[in-house]
Amino acid sequence: MEKNKTFGSIGAKLGDLGSSLFSIALALAMGAVIILFMGLNPLTAYAELWRGAFQNPTAIANTLSRATPLLLCGLSVAVARRAGLFNIGAEGQLHAGAIATILFMLAFPSLPRILLLPVGILIGMFAGAAWALIPGILKAKRGIHEVVVCIMCNYLIILFCAYLVNGPFLEPGSHVGQTTLIAEAGRLSNLFVPRSQLNTGFLIAIGVAVVVYIFLFKTSLGFKFRTVGSNPEAARAGGIIPEKISIGAMAFAGSIAALAGITEVLGKYYRFIDGFSPSFGFTGIAVAFLARSNPFGIILSALLFGTLDSGSLRMARVTGVSSDLIIVIQALVIFFVAIPNITKFFKLPKNVILARFDK
Amino acid sequence: MQFLDSLITHILPLGYQLSIPIALAAIAATISERLGVINLGIEGQMLVGAFAAVVGSHLTGSPVIGILFGMIAGGVFGLLHVTVCVKLRSNQAVCGVAINLLALGLTDFLTTLIWGTKISALVTRLPNVTVPLLERIPIAGVFFRNQTVFFYLLPLIVAAAYIFFYKTRWGLRVMAIGHNPQAALSAGINVVKYRYVGLMIAGVLAGLGGAYLSVAFNNAFVSDMVAGRGFMGIASNIFGGWNPLGSFLASFLFAFAQSLRYYVAGAVVPTQITQMLPYAITLIVLIAVKKRSRAPEAMGVLE
Amino acid sequence: MGYAVQMKGITKSFPGVLANDGIDFAVEENEIHCLLGENGCGKSTLMNVLFGIHKQEAGEILIKDKKSTITNTKEAHDAGIGMVHQHFMLVNPMTALDNIMLGKEPIGLFLDRQVARREISAMIEKYGFQIDLDASVSELAVGIKQRMEIVKILYRGADIIIMDEPTAVLTPQEVQELFKILTGLKADGKTIIFITHKLEETMAISDRVTVLRGGKKVKTVVTAQSSEKELARYMVGYDVNFDLERPPVECGDILLEVRNVQLLPNARHSVSFEIRKGEILGIAGVDGNGQQELEEMIMGVRKAPKGGSIIVNGSDITGTTTKFRKAYGMGHIPSDRYKSAMVKDFSVRENYMLGFQDHADLNTYGFIKHKVLAAFSQAQIKKYNVVVSSDESSIGTLSGGNQQKVIISRELGHDPDVVIVAQPTRGLDIGAIEFVHSTLIDLRRQGKAVLLISVELTEIMTLSDRIAVLCGGEIMDSFENSRDVTREQLGLLMAGKAVGGSYGEE
């Protein structure tokens, strides 16, 4: 059983942080070994990755913008995780949210911004929540493992979106599956750096992280989520109905994941493009697990993964190391974080470390 | 009459062909879950199997060696899953997701590295066989004409799995481990060893299923070409009641839905909608399956 | 006569605990040797070391004068040692035959049940066990399951048999049958190690007894030359007072009434009883006879089937939620402490909120009143002497007794009228048991209505004003005055044999 640590002892927290950092280092090191096997220099590759992510304000802004959907998906996975559910359906939920928002905005293009934007976003969040209810309800009422249901739901909604934007809502004359552009009033505005992809979606994501933190640790409903996640039987004896919490947690998680899709389409593309998400939802799992479902930790781990994503293009262009390597590194991070006490397998005897420093 | 004709000569054989990888995945899932290990990584084990088979066929020109490569690759990923879950005690569902992500990243990465694109070069495909005499049977002869070896191999594997589970002492022990690993341990059974061997065999079967996709059903590797068949296998295994025969029948149901898509597609129904069919059926099946009484009681429980 | 097992200077520690501290333990061949001690005294660790599950840090083990090299169960079987665990190691969906032969099936490519059946039937006949080899395990009674476990190890050729707390799940009569079986095995030349914390059993069955306390061996004595009182002193370290004052209390109005509640689907009669102010009703019975159903149906954790009703303070609360019942003045100390009463990863403080997260004292507009919670948790910790460094450390790090104190003080902290107490002393040491018992007596004095569900007959008999016996989901009989009843009567009722009129209603 996976341990769901709370904000208990400081020692436990430091231990988690330590093994998270260790997991990242180990994954990067294994990535470096792969690069070495290609006959290339891993340090150069990682340096280009770093440069690609941070070389100028535009790059930094793009890195932050890349981190935005990962942050939201990570929060979605974390909320579910805290309630004892494994939401690997974030990918589908963000599609549901994005398509619902875009279709609403296309249907009511003349609404004023003050109405169009918030209502559009809410409708998208509602769609994401509704889509997440399928695994939530099946888990609660039928005891079907949410993971299998989520996977099926992902395929279904992604294909359905593809059908919509290639069929009835295809932009006239377009050769790729996409809708027409939405009205200016529905777009999220650019943030800090002009011409970058960074938009107010980033602030929304940070705000959601704060809300999730307060929810989980300061409210009684959050306490119920965590109790069900750690010990559903004790929750039931304590007057909490785990089935209700499961359904509610999936809906909450679904609405947060939906925001990831919504901020992408409203902030970057201003339309729904088939295949706009390079599996944000799955990367979100790595983001959440790396941070052990701690909302503030998720901000940091989303930034890390955003950096890997945004820097990998330059790394590929300059050094020839394919950006697919980043997926491998992300997978390795999940492995390492999922192994309890990973650090204990790699402890060097004290004198070995000392001997090295003596040289 | 015309539909019935195409049903027998085209849709059913195609359905059966499409059921092969799903059924292999289902048996892999049955082995894993009967040993009490949730194996969501079957999808990824199939993907590396498909990739390794193409690489093997590409390097040696022999699709048979390619298939061996695929089985080995699947087995290695099965070993990875069981090591991380059983020895290192990771959460099994998370580990499965990581396996799938790793397989996706690794195969894409290596495909790009070898061929420069996300699609491999075309490789030699496993030659089809025709069974003399039997092919002459009216109507049903189509099942014996110009089919892959897998076509005949699958029933053998299903039968072997059935006999293993219900007629041998190893099958009895596997059953005990899935229901109560503590009891098995106290009966002197090396539970860890059984899990290692079982999960590796599951990986080999999944790799075989992937290899079938890439060098028998197709003749190239394409990014993410398994496309959820591993998960359909897991669902078939549940629908089939953790029983190889049941799994086989259930996977045929999925495959039949897939094969319909080739015949109903096009003008009448958009392709995306027919593509949704197997996933929708999986969901409906999951909902329809009655109380999961036949499930191993200790699924996901190490001790 | 030689030694079957000799363990010399066994030391084994776990992080923070010295579980075995230089223990010498020797079992003669063909004797019944009791290993006596309280929970956590190191009995199980010592046996796990013998079994090769744990590796000792110091000391050596001789089995039949040969140095032991056991590292797993199979090697233990090969060395002639078998263990009947407290929790049966049986696979429910499989038949008795399959369970017994599991791991030692006849050699051959295909499973040959006939060969195994012949050998096992012969063995069953020899010892006079009655086991239907074709029944699936889940249908078998507890006593039969235990016999199956014994057959299992005999089938593996064991001549040293370890019984781990074998009487915990048995009725007094079943215990007598077990003792007969053990005596028979001894007559057949077997050596038996009997792990227990019960004094009467030790006196009744053993030839010699070794007492452990706090990871150390206290003494090995010949049972016939010792007494219950002496063994108790060795076990606890001081003289134990078995008697508990139960001052008379004037009973008041009916606070809890259970009417026609069907506990188990196949029980013929439903269950009815009532408890008055200042009264403890004890429910005796062997585990698994509807106790957990009763506890959970009263608290609304489990849905009661239609027809019955539960009335608290005169109001029918049958259809209400658990949350409502807790707020309505019902306290609950669940039978499974770890599973149902606490979240072990949460801090002690957060555990003080469990069950009361929506209580107006702790909650404004959905936000937790952290300061009030902290004050409450610290006050309760002080009042009940919970040993904990800070209420922010996780409850999982506390001893069983302190965890139970947290749970009791949480449930009593909101001043309930009715308290449902199930198996309150399970797994606790004698000090903690004394605390729990005096707390329950105190509740009675304060005029609460207490339902005490316990498998410990002594506990039921010393604490309860009235006693009812549960078997197969039905109340076999009840006694208005707990002093009117003997252990033997209760034991017969627990086994489902009616001795008086039926108390249950149609």
| DSSP assignment string, A19-54 | HHHHHHHHHHHHHHHHHHHTTS-HHHHHHHHHHHHH
Nearest to C283 by CA among C76, C63, C98, C463: C463
Is C148 exposed, middle or buried (CB count within 10 Å of its CB: 0-12, 13-18, 19+)? buried
- Cβ contact A149–B283 (<8 Å): yes
pLDDT-based confidence at residue A1 (cuts at 50, 70, 90)? very low
Minimum distance, in Å, between the CA of residue C346 and any CA atom of chain A? 6
What are C395's two structure tokens? 């409850």
> Which residue type sits at A33?
V
Please tell me the distance from the alpha carbon of residue C287 to that of residue C299, in angstroms, as a whole number. Answer: 19
By Cβ distance, the residue of A143, A331, A338 closest to B91 is A338
- Cβ contact B172–C93 (<8 Å): no
> Which residue type sits at C152?
K
Which residues in C lie closer than 8 A to residue A227 (C-beta atoms)?
343, 346, 354, 357
Which residues in A lie closer than 8 A to residue B94 (C-beta atoms)?
2, 86, 285, 289, 334, 338
Minimum distance, in Å, between the CA of residue B252 and any CA atom of chain C? 29
Radius of gyration of chain C (CA): 25
Judge contact between C68 and C242, C-beta under 8 A. Answer: no
Please tell me the distance from the alpha carbon of residue C430 to that of residue C273, in angstroms, as a whole number. Answer: 31
Query: Could you tell me how many residues make up chain B?
Result: 303
Q: Which sign, positive or negative, has the C-alpha torsion C230, C235, C241, C242?
A: negative
The complex's ipTM works out to 0.88
310-339 of C, contacting A, C-beta below 8 A: 321-326, 332, 334, 336, 339
Please tell me the distance from the alpha carbon of residue C450 to that of residue C421, in angstroms, as a whole number. Answer: 7
The DSSP result for A67-90, as a single string, is HHHHHHHHHHHHHHHHTT---TTH
pLDDT-based confidence at residue B290 (cuts at 50, 70, 90)? low
Select from A1, A214, A217, A227 the residue whose CB has the most chain C CBs within 10 Å, as the one to mutate to test that interface.
Answer: A227
Which residues in A lie closer than 8 A to residue B102 (C-beta atoms)?
328, 331-332, 335
Which residues in A lie closer than 8 A to residue B90 (C-beta atoms)?
335, 338-340
Q: Which sign, positive or negative, has the C-alpha torsion A143, A148, A151, A152?
A: negative
By Cβ distance, the residue of C102, C104, C111 closest to B176 is C102
What is the per-residue pLDDT for B104? 94
Whole-prediction pTM: 0.85
Q: How far apart are the first and last CA of chain B?
A: 57
- Cβ contact C345–A223 (<8 Å): no
Residue C333, strand partner residues: C421
Which residues in B lie closer than 8 A to residue A331 (C-beta atoms)?
98-99, 101-102, 104-106
* Element at A211 (helix H, strand E): helix A201-218
The DSSP result for C75-107, as a single string, is HHHHTTEEEE-SS----TTSBHHHHHHTTSPPS
* pLDDT of A348 strictly over 70: no
- Tens digit of pLDDT for each residue in C473-491? 999 988 888 788 888 888 8
| Distances from the Cα of A206 to the Cα of A299, B179, C362, angstroms | 7, 45, 29
Please tell me the distance from the alpha carbon of residue A38 to that of residue A35, in angstroms, as a whole number. Answer: 5
DSSP C171: -
By Cβ distance, the residue of C296, C326, C344 closest to A239 is C326
Cα C67 to its chain centre, rounded Å, is: 35
Nearest to A293 by CA among A90, A7, A24, A66: A7
Residue C17, strand partner residues: C14
Please tell me the distance from the alpha carbon of residue C105 to that of residue C87, in angstroms, as a whole number. Answer: 23
Residue C360: CA atoms inside 13 Å, Cβ hemisphere, count?
A: 3
Burial code of C378-412, b = ≥16 C-beta within 10 A, e = fewer?
bebbeebebebeebbbbbbebebbbbbbbbbbbbb
- Cβ contact B187–C85 (<8 Å): no
- Tens digit of pLDDT for each residue in A112-168? 999 999 999 999 999 999 999 999 999 998 888 788 889 889 989 999 999 999 989
Judge contact between C94 and B176, C-beta under 8 A. Answer: yes
Tens of each residue's pLDDT in chain C, 506 residues: 689 999 999 999 887 778 899 999 999 999 999 999 887 788 888 998 998 888 899 999 999 988 888 888 888 999 999 999 888 899 988 999 999 999 889 888 888 999 999 999 999 998 888 889 999 998 888 888 999 999 999 999 999 999 998 988 788 888 888 999 999 999 999 999 999 988 888 999 999 999 999 889 999 999 999 998 889 888 887 776 656 677 777 788 999 999 999 999 888 899 999 999 999 999 999 888 899 999 999 999 998 877 889 999 999 999 899 999 999 999 999 998 888 999 999 999 999 999 999 988 899 999 999 999 999 999 999 999 999 989 999 998 888 889 999 999 999 999 999 999 999 998 888 888 889 999 999 999 999 999 999 988 889 988 999 999 999 899 998 888 878 888 888 888 888 776 554 444 33
What is the per-residue pLDDT for B105? 93
- Cα nearest neighbour of C367 on chain A: A219
Nearest to C372 by CA among C355, C357, C394: C357
Residue C440 CB neighbours (<10 A): 24
Radius of gyration of chain B (CA): 19
pLDDT (mean) for A219-244:
95
- Cβ contact C98–B172 (<8 Å): yes
Nearest to A49 by CA among A238, A233, A308: A308
Q: In what order do the strands lie in the sheet with C66-67?
A: C17-28, C3-14, C58-63, C66-67
pLDDT-based confidence at residue A10 (cuts at 50, 70, 90)? very low
What are B252's two structure tokens? 């045929």
Beta-carbon pairs below 8 A across chains B and C: 70
- Cβ contact A219–C355 (<8 Å): no
What are A321's two structure tokens? 């190391």
Nearest to C232 by CA among C192, C196, C188: C196
Nearest to C432 by CA among C402, C406, C455: C402
Please tell me the distance from the alpha carbon of residue A130 to that of residue A124, in angstroms, as a whole number. Answer: 10
> Which residue type sits at A144?
I
Burial code of B198-214, b = ≥16 C-beta within 10 A, e = fewer?
bbbbbbbbbbbbbbbbb
